[in-house]
């Protein structure tokens, strides 16, 4: 299939071609980069919502309920669920979530599961490109649900404009909540499973943490109670999501975050491409294999060897 045909298919709302593009992205096919390059000027219109939190906090059910509420407000939705990977195929172990099947027949909802493929931080490396593809596809809101790996999931802030951090009653004492790095990235806190004992106490603990935060800006993250299974508190949650979206635009933070996100993305992409090119040139060469043996025998250290190999590579390719 020609690039123009696939690009036109994604822009015209062809779900099958969007799914094909995301598969190319996951497989790191160079063809995907060519297509994304053509699609780039059509992106930047969707609002990216990140949903993260510890395992068992009900993220998938919450995303399903948020999607249903957004649909009542005539918003089209894309969902990227980042799941643990199969050690054999690299594919997402959970696939498209059973709890989200109620939306699969809705043409204004697109759901895709992606495997982490060993990438730490709660997100797949391909996640941001998949989000961009769905943005170009024309969805109003793109929801990214992270893998549920706990405190390491802070990478979602690099993709999402609004971050929801979920928690549940009884998940830890207030000291644990304060030191958890994941708590520092939230724009909105959600205490889910509000029917469990200790839900109100959890809200008090999080608010106490916010009260002593020296870096609190103009936006104080609200702390909301929900019961996603019963659909309770979802309307109020989506109200706050829309309120935060408006705040970002009115305060100028949306543009500021966009600039920083573009800087980070460019640097990460250059680092990734340079690393791949460097390894492609060196792996399997006698020099490289000899360096590995010398490191293993403690005749050389990896720090010095790495610096030397990179320096020599750059000198050879300097114009």
pLDDT of res. 92: 43
pLDDT tens-digit series, residues 257-271 = 899 889 988 888 888
* Average confidence (pLDDT) over 222-226: 96
* Average confidence (pLDDT) over 20-35: 91
Domain ranges of the chain: 1-40, 43-251, 262-316
> Has residue 98 got a pLDDT over 90?
no
> Has residue 145 got a pLDDT over 80?
yes
> Has residue 130 got a pLDDT over 80?
yes
Residue 213: how many other CB atoms lie within 10 Å: 13
The structure's pTM equals: 0.85
Closest CA to 35 of 150, 176, 130: 130
What is the CATH code for 43-251? 3.40.50.300
Closest CA to 104 of 81, 128, 126, 130: 81
Six token digits for residue 96: 């498209």
When the pLDDT of each residue in the chain is averaged and rounded to a whole number, the result is 85
* Average confidence (pLDDT) over 41-45: 94
pLDDT of res. 101: 72
* Average confidence (pLDDT) over 115-138: 75
> Has residue 114 got a pLDDT over 60?
yes
Please tell me the distance from the alpha carbon of residue 124 to that of residue 117, in angstroms, as a whole number.
7
pLDDT of res. 121: 40
pLDDT of res. 41: 94
Does residue 95 come out as left (phi exceeding 0), alpha (psi in the -120 to 50 range) or beta?
left
Residue 222 DSSP code:
P
- Residues of the chain with pLDDT > 90, as a percent, come to 53
More reliable by pLDDT, 179 or 171: 171
More reliable by pLDDT, 16 or 276: 16
> Has residue 314 got a pLDDT over 70?
yes
Q: What's the pLDDT band for 84 if we cut at 50, 70, 90? A: low
pLDDT tens-digit series, residues 195-208 = 999 899 999 989 98
- CA distances (Å), origin 89, targets 23, 84, 117: 13, 12, 9
pLDDT of res. 174: 47
Does residue 180 come out as left (phi exceeding 0), alpha (psi in the -120 to 50 range) or beta?
beta
* Average confidence (pLDDT) over 272-279: 86
pLDDT of res. 88: 40
Q: What's the pLDDT band for 90 if we cut at 50, 70, 90? A: very low
Q: Where are the alpha helices (DSSP H) in the chain?
A: 3-11, 15-26, 30-39, 59-72, 127-137, 174-179, 199-211, 234-251, 253-282, 286-296, 302-316
């Amino acid at each position: 299939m020609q690039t123009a045909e696939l690009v036109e298919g994604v822009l015209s709302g062809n779900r099958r071609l969007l799914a094909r593009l995301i598969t190319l992205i996951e497989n790191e096919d160079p063809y995907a980069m060519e297509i994304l390059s053509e699609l780039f000027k059509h992106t930047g219109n969707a609002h990216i919502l990140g949903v993260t939190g510890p395992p068992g906090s009900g993220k998938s059910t919450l995303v399903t309920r948020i999607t249903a509420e957004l649909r009542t407000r005539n918003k089209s939705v894309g969902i990227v669920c980042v799941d643990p990977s199969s050690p054999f195929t690299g594919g997402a172990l959970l696939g498209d979530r059973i709890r989200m099947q109620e939306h699969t027949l809705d043409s204004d909802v697109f759901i895709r599961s992606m495997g982490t493929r060993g990438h730490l931080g709660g997100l797949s490396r391909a996640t941001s490109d998949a989000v961009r593809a769905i943005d170009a596809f024309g969805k109003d809101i793109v929801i990214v649900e992270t893998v549920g790996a706990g405190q390491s999931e802070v990478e979602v802030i690099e993709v999402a404009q609004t971050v929801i951090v979920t928690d549940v009653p009884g998940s830890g004492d207030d000291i644990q909540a304060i030191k958890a790095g994941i708590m520092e990235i939230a724009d909105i806190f959600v205490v889910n499973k509000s029917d469990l004992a200790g839900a109100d106490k959890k809200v008090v603990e999080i608010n106490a943490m916010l009260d002593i935060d020296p870096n609190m800006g103009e936006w104080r993250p609200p702390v909301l109670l929900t019961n996603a299974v019963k659909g309770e508190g979802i309307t109020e949650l989506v109200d706050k999501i829309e309120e935060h979206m408006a705040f970002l635009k009115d305060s100028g933070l949306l543009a500021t975050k966009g600039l920083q996100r573009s800087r980070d993305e460019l640097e990460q992409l250059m680092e990734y491409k340079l690393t791949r090119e460097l390894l492609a040139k060196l792996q399997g060469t006698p020099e490289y294999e000899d360096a590995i043996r010398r490191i293993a025998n403690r005749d050389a250290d990896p720090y010095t060897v790495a610096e030397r190999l990179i320096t020599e590579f750059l000198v050879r390719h300097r114009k």
